[in-house]
Structure 1
Amino acid sequence: MGQKLVGILLNAAVHGGVPRLKTGQESLANYEEAAAAYGLTPCFLKLSGIDTKSGFSRAYIKGPHGYRSQIIPTPEVIHNRAIYDPGSSGVQRLLRQGIQVYNICNRYGKDQIHGLLEQNQELQTFLPVTSAGMSGLKEMMDSYPDLILKPCRGSVGNGVMRLTRISGAGQWKWSYSPSGSRRWYSVPVNQGAIPRALRARLSSVPYLVQERIPLAEINGRPFDLRITVQRGWGGDWQVTGMFAKLAAPGGFVSNIARGGEALNSSFALEKAFPGEAAARIRMSVLSLSLAIARELEQSLPGLADIGLDIGITGSGRLYFIECNGRDQRYGFQKAGLGSVWKESYRRPMGYARYLYEEAARHNSY
């Protein structure tokens, strides 16, 4: 395999940390090792450093003395690890130049993803009942005793709230966490007089209102599964791995950034279910994850690397929770799954090699 450049497109803040090896959850070493396995050289880009008119870009490439900024021909294949709004003009310019960008958009609204999956009759059964906004909240409070409220554009559990009915006379408990805090606060709410603070939150940004899934628990702590689904060499979707996210004691949000704990998924499933049931659930989760990825790619161009959150009830029923367009991957490391963590970098680099080979094959005709 001839050595070729593969672009890794980062947000400006992360990109600026490359020469100091300060890139947050992005492992530069994993990118180097994974790309080398496919005869590729990774170069780390930011959108403002790409000049589509000249065809050249400023990028960080590793050399004998660490990462240095260089002017290079813009790579023909770029893996997007940055967050841009759908239809970003910068990304669209790259596509018009014939550059193959995969994971073109990394942040989709929860409402958009739910709407796409809802169109597939076979997947509808895995979706929690969902509504939106204040009108949706009032309808859902009439029908369900336990609700989760999620900002459509939120991430790592920020802005998630819970409403739990505590009596048959319209009395509820509202649980929320202030921005940047891991502490949860609860206040009583009367269904007929929603507090101004809650109404303000729902009116400030779009919110989904969903029935709360009664998740399986380990020692009284609910958990769900994060499944990394990626396209690799050959182009087909594959499940790279999964781990369990266990909510903090007394919490209901499993996000690691909100105090959750990453566990080996096999350990978590076998703690919550008998051995045979745990194995059956695991296989069902794998099958569902692939079905979701294949459905989403029909409507989301360039999709190639996603993280899915799947919930399991105590009775073993599966529910789709959400799709993460920029899977952070570090949960594998925290769960003690170092080889899977490395594989989650290796597979996208295999997909880059596949795109190069497909382009060469097409050009040879």
Structure 2
Amino acid sequence: MGQKLVGILLNAAMHRGVPRLKTGQESLEAYEEAAAGYGMVPCFLQLSDINLEPGFSVAYVKGLQGYQRTVVPTPAVIHNRAIFSPGSTGIERLLGQGLQIFNTCNRYGKDHIHGLLQQNEALRGFLPDSAAGLAGLRDMVNRHHDLILKPCRGSVGKGVMRLSRKAGSRRWSWTYLPAGSRRYVSRNVSPENLHPALRARFAAMPYLVQERIPLAEMNGRPFDLRVTVQRGWGGDWQVTGMFAKLAAPGGFVSNIARGGEAFSASAVLEQVFGGEAAASIRRSVQMLSLSIARQLEQSLPGLADIGLDIGITKDLRLYFIECNGRDQRYGFQKAGLSGTWKDSYRRPMGYARFLLDNPSRYIRY
């Protein structure tokens, strides 16, 4: 295989950090190593530097003096790691010129993803009961005693709240994280007469209301699994790996950015359920995750690299919690799974090389 270029599309702020090696959770070194394994050279792009008229672009490419802005032939295959909304005109312009971009959009509303999965009868049993907006909230308090309220387009657990009815009482407790605070607070509220601050949050942005899944716990801390599902060489979906996310002590969200911790999925499952059950759970989670990816790919263009949160109850029921269109892979490192972390970079680069060699296999829908 001769060396070829593969594009890595970054947001402008992250792109500016490339020459200083300041790219947050994105590892330039991991991209370099993964791409080299497939005979490719990664070039780091931002949307404004892709000039298709002459067929050349400006990109950061690693040389003897580090990363330098270099004029390169516009890569035929680009892995999008920037945040763009569905139907972005910039992405559509590139696609219209025949470029192969995977994960063209990686920020989908939680309500939209839930609706797409709801269309598959075989997956409905894995979905928590859900409704949208204030009207949905009023319906849900009549059906469940414990609810999770999520911004439809939020990420890393930001803005997630809990509404729960106290045992043996008609009183409800609203738990949330005030702006600028690291400590959750709770208020007594009435579903018939919602607190003005809670109403204001729903007015400010669309919210999805879901029954709170009674997640299995380890040492009193609820946990779920992050499952990385990616296309690799050959174009088929594969489960790259998974790790467990434990909520902070006393917390109800497992996001690492909200105080959660990452651990080996195998170790957590074996401690909680035992070795034989843990192996069965891992197989079931893998099968469910692949089914979800295949369902979503029917409606989401260029989907190739996602992170799924899968919950497990004490009685071994599985639930889909949410889909992350730009999977933050650093959880594997925090869980001590450095080999899987490298695989999470390697697999998309394998898919990129596959598309370079087999452009007719590019799936846009």
Matches of 2:4 and 2:275, distance apart in 1:
46
- The alpha carbon displacement at 1:271 in A equals 1.6
| Match of residue 129 from structure 2 | 129
Q: Which amino acid aligns with 1:113?
A: I
- Aligned residues of 2:355 and 2:361 also touching (Cα < 8 A): no
Q: Which amino acid aligns with 1:61?
A: V
Matches of 1:225 and 1:297, distance apart in 2:
21
Matches of 1:90 and 1:214, distance apart in 2:
42
| Match of residue 210 from structure 1 | 210
Q: Which amino acid aligns with 1:278?
A: A
Structure 1 residues 170-319: aligned runs within 5 Å: 170-319=170-319
Matches of 2:361 and 2:188, distance apart in 1:
64
Q: Which runs of 5+ in 1 are unaligned?
A: none
Render the CA deviation track for 1:104-144: whole Å, top value 9, x for unaligned.
Answer: 00100001100000000000000000001111111111110
| Match of residue 95 from structure 2 | 95
Render the CA deviation track for 1:208-246: whole Å, top value 9, x for unaligned.
Answer: 000000000001100000000000001000000000000
Matches of 2:261 and 2:169, distance apart in 1:
36
Render the CA deviation track for 1:62-116: whole Å, top value 9, x for unaligned.
Answer: 0011000011111000000000111111111110000000000010000110000
| Match of residue 3 from structure 1 | 3
| Match of residue 73 from structure 2 | 73
Q: Which runs of 5+ in 2 are unaligned?
A: none
- The alpha carbon displacement at 1:360 in A equals 7.9
Pair 360,86 (structure 1): closer, same or farther in 2 beyond 3 Å: closer
- Aligned residues of 2:25 and 2:330 also touching (Cα < 8 A): yes
Q: How many residues align?
A: 362
| Match of residue 60 from structure 1 | 60
Give me the identity figure in percent.
70
Pair 169,248 (structure 1): closer, same or farther in 2 beyond 3 Å: closer
Q: Which amino acid aligns with 1:220?
A: G
Render the CA deviation track for 1:265-323: whole Å, top value 9, x for unaligned.
Answer: 00111121122211111110000000000110011110000000000001110000000
Pair 180,263 (structure 1): closer, same or farther in 2 beyond 3 Å: farther
| 3-state SS of 1:230 partner | strand
| Match of residue 26 from structure 1 | 26
Matches of 2:219 and 2:85, distance apart in 1:
40
- Aligned residues of 1:240 and 1:340 also touching (Cα < 8 A): yes
- The alpha carbon displacement at 1:182 in A equals 2.8
Q: TM-score, normalised by structure 1?
A: 0.97
Q: Which amino acid aligns with 2:192?
A: G
Matches of 2:326 and 2:281, distance apart in 1:
25
Taking only aligned residues, the RMSD between alpha carbons, in angstroms, comes to 1.2
Pair 86,361 (structure 1): closer, same or farther in 2 beyond 3 Å: closer
- Aligned residues of 2:161 and 2:176 also touching (Cα < 8 A): yes
| 3-state SS of 1:174 partner | strand
| 3-state SS of 2:79 partner | strand
Pair 298,226 (structure 1): closer, same or farther in 2 beyond 3 Å: same
- Aligned residues of 2:311 and 2:319 also touching (Cα < 8 A): yes
- The alpha carbon displacement at 1:167 in A equals 4.8
| Match of residue 47 from structure 1 | 47
- Aligned residues of 1:247 and 1:253 also touching (Cα < 8 A): yes
| 3-state SS of 1:131 partner | strand
| 3-state SS of 1:19 partner | helix
Matches of 2:69 and 2:78, distance apart in 1:
17
Q: TM-score, normalised by structure 2?
A: 0.97
| 3-state SS of 2:154 partner | coil
**Is 1:344 matched up with 2:353?**
no
Matches of 1:77 and 1:86, distance apart in 2:
19
Pair 270,109 (structure 1): closer, same or farther in 2 beyond 3 Å: same
| Match of residue 327 from structure 1 | 327
Query: Runs of 4+ in structure 1 displaced over 3 angstroms?
Result: none
Matches of 1:293 and 1:132, distance apart in 2:
23
- Aligned residues of 1:164 and 1:174 also touching (Cα < 8 A): yes
| 3-state SS of 1:287 partner | helix
- Aligned residues of 1:158 and 1:179 also touching (Cα < 8 A): no
